[in-house]
Amino acid sequence: MSIAARFSLAYPAFTLDVNLQLPAQGITALFGPSGSGKTTLLRCIAGLEKVGNGHLIVNGECWQSGNFFLPVHRRALGYVFQEASLFPHLTVQGNLDYGAVRSRRHKTTKAPPADQRNIVELLGIGHLLQRKPERLSGGERQRVAIARALLAAPKLLLMDEPLAALDFERKREILPYLERLRDELDIPILYVSHAFDEVSRLANHLVLMSTGQAIASGSLSELTARLDLPLTQYPDAGVVIDATVGAYDPEYHLTRLDFPGGCVYAGLHEMPLGHRARILIHASDVSIALSEAVNSSIVNRLPAQIEAFAATHHPAHLLVRLNIGDAPDNPPPSTSVIARITRRSRDQLRLHQGQRVWVQIKTVALVE
């Protein structure tokens, strides 16, 4: 099962033209700069924009095709905006009850009733049920808004920059709850953001938007390692890697994280062995050496092969994609990282495609 979305919508100064196949589970992030069409696409999927040339199938159920258009109120979806928009005269419990009532009113969606107790526990709002919205923090209000949307028993959850109105501390507070939604809910979540740190932590699937078009769609790890996409031009660009906790070094307070082709060490984290973890390796934290620098303070040193070079917006810099592993030709699955180096370094080291080198990784960020 999946989501098939095809829309063509023209405004005087903007045209949306997308054709996407999206997974039916986990978080799909719609990522791109302001004005790229992320929110417009979300509104088309919700039915808030009626597109004459549109097609939308959600897990086998047709919401739009040809002359058929399922009205917004009959679509089994939840929508979470930047602002929580809770009813100020109702308690948290009253706001949640509204979501449950909405679900009962629209039985035509055939969605199963939502379990309020499980949703309240999932989002950690049990102690807030008798409070009014004015007595909640920004992060708490947003968690209540998400719970209310889920109590409508949606088959699809849409989230339009839900953390944009929160400060750093409130974002850090709510991110673990969004991870729980991703891992425990059996429905797809479409998540709009222009913040790479959110996307790198939350997304399973990524859709890159630019000037109304989806220029790439695929897994997060795949797209972050592609040199032909604008993601690699961001100052904080890096490759997201799915790893597994392989071992602990209690003496030096390090955790070994394993992935196809190699492993890296990060700061000690309380996670069980075998636990799946997500790491981010920034291009600016990767350097290249012709041989293993054994007399180095950098712990993570891995053999690799140069796959490709790409230019950057800075005339002095280059991006290098490297495939990690001991074998000259690593069979799939393999793992790639990206290094940002100077053109001078490339020429001095005489680096070329296919060359065997060593990568040195200064910092490994555990993002999950």
Query: Which has the closest alpha carbon to 200: 217, 177, 175?
Result: 175
Query: 98 pLDDT band (50/70/90 cuts)?
Result: confident
CB 20 within 8 A of CB 6: yes
Count Cβ atoms below 10 Å from residue 333 Cβ, excluding itself: 8
CATH of domain 238-366: 2.40.50.100
Query: 156 pLDDT band (50/70/90 cuts)?
Result: very high
Q: What is the pTM of this model?
A: 0.90
Cα 302 to Cα 281: distance, rounded to the nearest angstrom: 13
Query: Which has the closest alpha carbon to 226: 307, 105, 299, 125?
Result: 307
Q: Is the pLDDT of residue 51 over 70?
A: yes
Query: Which has the closest alpha carbon to 56: 78, 75, 81, 32?
Result: 75
| Single-letter amino acid, residue 76 | A
Residue 332 is predicted with a pLDDT of 57
Quick: pLDDT tens for 250-308: 899 999 999 999 999 998 787 899 999 999 999 999 999 999 988 889 999 999 999 99
Tell me which CATH homologous superfamily contains domain 2-224: P-loop containing nucleotide triphosphate hydrolases (3.40.50.300)
Residue 336 is predicted with a pLDDT of 94
Query: Which has the closest alpha carbon to 191: 147, 158, 225, 167?
Result: 158
Output the average pLDDT for the chain: 91
Q: Give the domain ranges of the chain.
A: 2-224, 238-366
Evaluate whether 2-224 and 238-366 have a shared fold: no
For residue 125, the number of C-alpha atoms closer than 13 Å in the C-beta half-sphere is 32
